[in-house]
Structure 1
Amino acid sequence: MLFKDVVGQQPAKEGLTKMWHNNVFPHALLLVGNEGTGGLPMGLALAQFIFCTEKTENDSCGHCVNCRKVSRLEHADVHMTFPTIPPKPGNKGMSKLYIQEFREFIQQTPYGTTYEWLQHINAENKQGNIVAEECREIIDTLNLKSYEGGRKVQIIWRPEYLRKEGNILLKLIEEPPHDTTIIFIAEDLEDILPTILSRTQSVKLAPLHPKDIAEALTYRAVTDPTRAAQIAHIAMGSYTEALRLSNHTDNDLFPGVKDLFNSIFTNNGIALTKFADEWSKAGREQQKNFLHYIIQLLEQAIRARYTPDMPLSLPEAEAQFVRKLAATKTTFDAFDKMIGTITDTMFYIERNAHSKTQLLAMALRMQYMVTNKPLPAGV
């Protein structure tokens, strides 16, 4: 994988390559970022960059022998460790037993989650783990000479699953063999042993910017630019979540939002009833995505009102709508209450409440909120 294939994270990419070219690259690196921010793709791109024989200043070449081997996870000196389950009762789960499945998983879903990986190997309700035997095998492997006469890279995906067994690796992490790099890829620092944290140099992966998510969705032909921009703003900085949303967002959400707010501000009860009826026929995921999208636009409206000099990272049509909404007499308290009632509606819809009733009640509450009128009893 090339750095250019990793969504966003430009500061992290620049920092890593700069450390490499300045010969100050750590022997034990911890990439840490929330699910969907690209930890595993970044780790794989970094491994490819390290082994590339024709690297540029900012990326690997992608076509040399080493690049091709690493991209297929077939380079003899790139060692992978990840959570696994016992293949059968009485056996220990070891990464080497699942390496072919892991290659397939990465090829299919480089931004896949740990849960998705465990389901890929039919873990069902079994708990993934990185066992003590795997830790000892890592030590033995890295203390051997490199197979191809160069460096060695050990990638440990989700060191949170090491638990206390990770203490076996402490001496190796502190004093690895010559030309050996250990790359940990984590999501939750609190679940990593402090003894490991203290021996690694951390690089934080920030939540992805909506612009980067939208560009990736469009470039990779996941969806059209309009839907990509909308999805990017409700994905909460996660490309994994954006991919999930793209599977449950069937059309342009913005016209529905405009119609809803036109009905609210014109006090059109018939149109609100029609809104509830039409959206009650959509799937629950589609309904939730629509409501998430409204919340994002409301939050942007608050920003537009109180920080007007800050540019809006929205397509022009949505940006104009947000500015108009910010210019209304709707109070900050009303915006806050609308976000609260939409959030409550999502909560009830997730729990299989009657969606038409919930959507109509939400729209009626919002109608009262924008006029700053007290809600009638029972609404």
Structure 2
Amino acid sequence: MQFKDIIGQEKVKEHLIRTVKENRISHAQLFLGPEGSGSLPLALAYAQYINCEHKQENDSCGSCSSCRKYAKLIHPDLHFSYPFFASHKEDTATTFIEQWRHSFLSDPYLNLESWRNSLDAGNKQANINIAECHHIIQKLSLKAFEASYKVLIMWLPEFLDKEGNTLLKLIEEPPENTLFLLVTQNQDQLLPTIISRTQLVKVNAIDKQSLADYLIREKGISPTKADQLCYISAGNMRQVMIHLADEGNDYFDVLVQWLRLCFGGKVLDLIQLVEEDLAKLGRENQKSFLLYAVQMMRDVILYKVGASPLVHLPQAELSFVEKFSPLYTTDTLEACVSIFEKTSYYIERNANPKILFLDVSLQLVLLFKR
């Protein structure tokens, strides 16, 4: 993984490269970024750059022995730790390393849900167990095999729970030339003792311009469609990929039709829309649709309170916002946002989509009538 393969994040890349050039590599770093921001591939590109045998000005060479092994995730001094779904108490991340390599190489912006789907997880809970902590200590106590640095990249350390305390001594005083790169999405769920021992690298959501340029250049998408995807995803590359996988969906048209039927109280038509459109989207697309609905309602609120310069939408969506904003009070619009967010929460927990969307539709009918 090279820096050039990662969408946007230019300031973070510059910072990471500068730490190497100025020999200021902190032995324990915490990459904090939202889902789909690219924090995990950034950590890998950083490790590859550090161990590259022929560093370029702003990236690893991509062709030396170290880079070739990093590209396949098989470098002997590169180690990964991540949440997994253990069948036995002695299972560690190494037990699932082949699935991990396949999942990461096919989708560097993977999330926990896509990782779960690549495994036979069943109803097991994801965690990083005590056996994995002991295995990390054992691996990192050995000398580097061929690289300048031994590197451990831990994805989602918030799943460590109290077992993470086992690693505190190692993180605070690691063996020489050992690098910990922790990649998290939620700092609040991390053990405070781990946060205090790491240097923070803040990774923001992908900026709209970089994401739009990537979609136009690499995916051959029209500028208008790229703008819509950037709006729907809010800089989350995972959401973009989900939407690209099902290009037949037009969230705007479905949302407008849904709200009009709710406004008119046309229950029979709502039942048909739920069964033929909303229930058939699939869980990930249902979550994307609800995220889109939340963002549209928030833009309606911004327009209503006089903050229209903050609303950046294609013409069709902007026209809808202009017409919809005078119809309801801010309280009603905020109630819509709350309903959509709760619905997304229930979708994540495998609620029946037909029952759920019909219930939400009836809630909206009552809310708009009020």
Same fold at TM > 0.5:
yes
Match of 1:171 in 2: 169
Structure 1 137/224 Cα, relative in aligned 2: closer, same or farther at 3 Å? same
By how many angstroms is 1:99 displaced?
2.0
Number of residue pairs aligned between Structure 1 and Structure 2 = 362
By how many angstroms is 1:69 displaced?
1.4
Match of 1:302 in 2: 301
Checking the alignment, whether the CA contact within 8 Å between 2:302 and 2:310 is kept in structure 1 is: no
Query: Helix, strand or coil: the match of 2:249?
Result: coil
Structure 1 193/276 Cα, relative in aligned 2: closer, same or farther at 3 Å? closer
Aligned-partner residue type, residue 107 of structure 2? T
Q: What fraction of aligned residue pairs are identical, expressed as a percent?
A: 34
Q: CA–CA distance in 2 between the matches of 1:293 and 1:162?
A: 32
RMSD (Å), alpha carbons: 3.9
**1:141 maps to 2:139:** yes
Match of 2:159 in 1: 161
1:281 to 276, 280, 288: 276
Checking the alignment, whether the CA contact within 8 Å between 1:52 and 1:67 is kept in structure 2 is: yes
Checking the alignment, whether the CA contact within 8 Å between 1:230 and 1:293 is kept in structure 2 is: no
Aligned-partner residue type, residue 314 of structure 1? L
| Residues 172-211 of structure 1 aligned to structure 2 (within 5 Å) | 172-211=170-209
Match of 1:30 in 2: 30
By how many angstroms is 1:68 displaced?
2.0
Query: Helix, strand or coil: the match of 1:29?
Result: strand
Query: Helix, strand or coil: the match of 1:147?
Result: coil
Deviation string, structure 1 residues 308-338 (Cα, Å, up to 9, x no partner)? 4735333344345435655x57543453355
Q: CA–CA distance in 2 between the matches of 1:156 and 1:111?
A: 15
By how many angstroms is 1:73 displaced?
0.5
By how many angstroms is 1:291 displaced?
5.2
Checking the alignment, whether the CA contact within 8 Å between 2:294 and 2:337 is kept in structure 1 is: yes
Deviation string, structure 1 residues 65-98 (Cα, Å, up to 9, x no partner)? 32221111011221222234556x5x61123333
Checking the alignment, whether the CA contact within 8 Å between 1:80 and 1:155 is kept in structure 2 is: yes
Deviation string, structure 1 residues 184-219 (Cα, Å, up to 9, x no partner)? 122333443332221111222234445555555555
| Residues 116-135 of structure 1 aligned to structure 2 (within 5 Å) | 116-135=114-133
Checking the alignment, whether the CA contact within 8 Å between 1:19 and 1:25 is kept in structure 2 is: yes
Structure 1 223/120 Cα, relative in aligned 2: closer, same or farther at 3 Å? farther
Structure 1 27/345 Cα, relative in aligned 2: closer, same or farther at 3 Å? closer
By how many angstroms is 1:281 displaced?
1.6
Listed as ranges, the gaps of 5+ residues in structure 1 are 369-374
Q: Which has the larger radius of gyration?
A: 1
Deviation string, structure 1 residues 245-287 (Cα, Å, up to 9, x no partner)? 44456233334556677899xx9889x9767745642142646
Structure 1 16/357 Cα, relative in aligned 2: closer, same or farther at 3 Å? closer
Q: CA–CA distance in 1 between the matches of 2:278 and 2:64?
A: 47
Structure 1 62/319 Cα, relative in aligned 2: closer, same or farther at 3 Å? farther
Match of 2:61 in 1: 61
Match of 1:314 in 2: 313
Task: Return 111-120 or 174-183, whichever deviates more.
Answer: 111-120
Query: Helix, strand or coil: the match of 1:171?
Result: helix
Listed as ranges, the gaps of 5+ residues in structure 2 are none
Checking the alignment, whether the CA contact within 8 Å between 1:28 and 1:173 is kept in structure 2 is: yes
> TM-score by structure 2 length?
0.78
Match of 1:45 in 2: 45
| Residues 1-379 of structure 1 aligned to structure 2 (within 5 Å) | 1-86=1-86, 89=88, 92-217=90-215, 219-221=217-219, 226-235=224-233, 237-247=235-245, 250-256=248-254, 277-278=272-273, 280-284=275-279, 286=281, 289-290=288-289, 292-306=291-305, 308=307, 310-323=309-322, 325=324, 328=326, 331-339=329-337, 351=352, 352-353=354-355, 359=361, 362=364, 366=368, 375=370
Query: Helix, strand or coil: the match of 1:310?
Result: helix
Q: CA–CA distance in 1 between the matches of 2:346 and 2:160?
A: 37
Deviation string, structure 1 residues 147-178 (Cα, Å, up to 9, x no partner)? 22522212122223333333332232222233
Structure 1 361/11 Cα, relative in aligned 2: closer, same or farther at 3 Å? same
Deviation string, structure 1 residues 340-359 (Cα, Å, up to 9, x no partner)? 56667878995432857864
